[in-house]
Amino acid sequence: MLKSTFTPIFSTFPTKSFTTLQKFPPFPTITNTFTQSPQPVHQNASLTAPTTNPFHQHDHPPTSAYIHLPFCRKRCHYCDFPIVALGSSNPTETDPRISNYAELLQQEILSTKPNSDSYSPLQTVFFGGGTPSLVSPRIVSSILDTLKLKFGLCKNAEISMEMDPGTFDDKKMEELMGLGVNRISLGVQAFQDELLKACGRAHGIEEVYQAIEIIRSCGIGNWSLDLISSLPHQTPQMWEQSLSLTVQAQPKHVSVYDLQVEQETKFGILYTPGEFPLPSEIQSADYYRMASRMLSDAGYSHYEISSYCKDGFECKHNFIYWKNKPFYGFGLGSASYVNGVRFSRPRKMREYMNYVQNLENGTVDCSGNGNRDAKDLALDVVMLSFRTARGLDLRSFADAFGSSLVYSLCKVYKPYIESRHMVGLDKERRAMTADEFNTLFTCEDEIGSRLAYIRLSDPDGFLLSNELISLAFGVIAP
């Protein structure tokens, strides 16, 4: 798992791809520790959103599941995720730390109550961590079998797995593919040994090239390569080289994360953000612009703030988050969004064990009642929509929350249309000029009939996403 410079939407979020370059105001977050007696999960809703709301889809059964496998060889210097460090060597298949956790994880899955009498088979599964590729295919198989038993699994489901160089070989890759794993997220992070060592990564550049060759030889067509920018002592030349070598490796997807320095990490002890050897905010922004330019020139679509892909290779699992759809999360520290409630599992193993025991005993209520406060829902929709190149669908938003709110949002964004940090699009997704946009304010009907979407520009709008989304918060929940 990786974080970026700013606070994530969830206090514990499901995948490393659920990160941003900007610090977004957080969702109302529900966290249970279950250190003592079991506590009910409190809902983050007070008023009911309209039942006709097209964004009111959290009462549908989830069709996606995130599985947290927390095992790593060592903790990287930037990492504050809930992990279990196993040591420098790869674990054996019978390591009790892994096998016992896998049994606990499967108990949680089997003890989870469905949010309705109906259910839909899972369409995506994402194994994140940690370093899931340290876990044996046999254990991965048992977890998938448990998911199939509990929820069902679509025949052509997207099954993703985070993998680190040096933790798998051809045999393991082929076994995982035989189980249905069809998408790989390879945690390269940098193409310079000195940077990898400075980050505390367990692999070196030689293992990076070996991992890429294994992926190619095994025929994994859908794979992503992950990079981190703004690392200590990272120069523009190093960042340009990493991007260039990424393009040469020809992954179908690239995730680019900006380093976040957390207080509890080794980097948090050693470094102060914005001070040498970390880059300044201006340099970090330049790195982001360089990534956008180089990857776009190489044929990658910048479809989400931190994500680029070749045509048709968007991460289906992560689109569940961006579209504000429900999802399951299982395992240490993982987050779910089920029936209108967002909640996180405990981050410490003993507390997680207590949580699973309470879940089995029926003393934990995470079901919710499907009601969401209309303001909270509108804020979620705006925040998540502005993460994507598609942007905010204003017509659906007006149907859900009223045309007057759309009018107010567009009015507050007028200066940013003129500065080209935001873009207004008609129903053919043609970008409007600032003058065309300004003529819409003669009456509310003009906006409703002519303006279909509004989005952040790439890259400068994405770089200001914190401020731009905060403006929407001021309109929706002043």
What would the 3-class secondary structure string for 317-342 be? HHHHHHCCCCEEEECCCCEEEECCEE
d(CA 24, CA 469): 8
Q: Residue 342: which residues within 8 A CB-CB, separation 6 or more?
A: 10, 27, 28, 29, 30, 44, 335, 336
Residue 423 pLDDT > 70:
yes
User: Residues of the chain with pLDDT > 70: what percent?
Assistant: 85
Cα-to-chain-centroid distance, residue 48:
27
Q: What does the pLDDT read at residue 59?
A: 64
The mean pLDDT value for 158-187 works out to 98
- Using the predicted structure, report yes or no on whether residue 230 has a pLDDT greater than 50: yes
* Residues 6 or more apart in contact with residue 51 via CB below 8 angstroms: none
Residue 28, pLDDT above cutoff 80: no
Q: What is the pLDDT of residue 39?
A: 31
pLDDT at 339: 85
Q: What confidence score (pLDDT) does residue 19 get?
A: 36
Res 33: pLDDT: 28
Mean pLDDT across 108-120? 81
Domains and CATH numbers, the chain: 54-323 (3.20.20.70), 374-476 (no CATH)
Q: What is the 3-state secondary structure (H, E, C) of 373-423?
A: CHHHHHHHHHHHHCCECCCEEHHHHHHHHCHHHHHHHHHHCHHHHHCCCEE
- CA 221-222-226 angle, 5° bins: 125
Res 6: pLDDT: 29
| pLDDT average, residue stretch 136-151 | 97
Instruction: Using the predicted structure, report yes or no on whether residue 37 has a pLDDT greater than 50.
Output: no
Mean pLDDT for the stretch of residues 196-201: 95
Among 78-87, 151-160, 203-212, 442-451, the least confident range = 442-451
Give me the pLDDT at residue 48, please: 41
Residue 7: pLDDT above 60? no
Tens-place pLDDT, residues 310-359: 999 999 999 999 999 999 999 999 999 998 888 899 999 999 999 999 99
What pLDDT shows up at residue 274?
84
pLDDT digits 0-9 by tens, 432-449: 999 999 999 887 777 888
Rounded mean pLDDT, 397-422:
95
pLDDT, tens digit (0-9, with 9 covering 90-100), for 79-92: 999 999 999 778 88
- The predicted structure's pLDDT at residue 116: 64
| CB 242 within 8 Å of CB 210 | no
In this prediction, residues 449-471 reach a mean pLDDT of 95
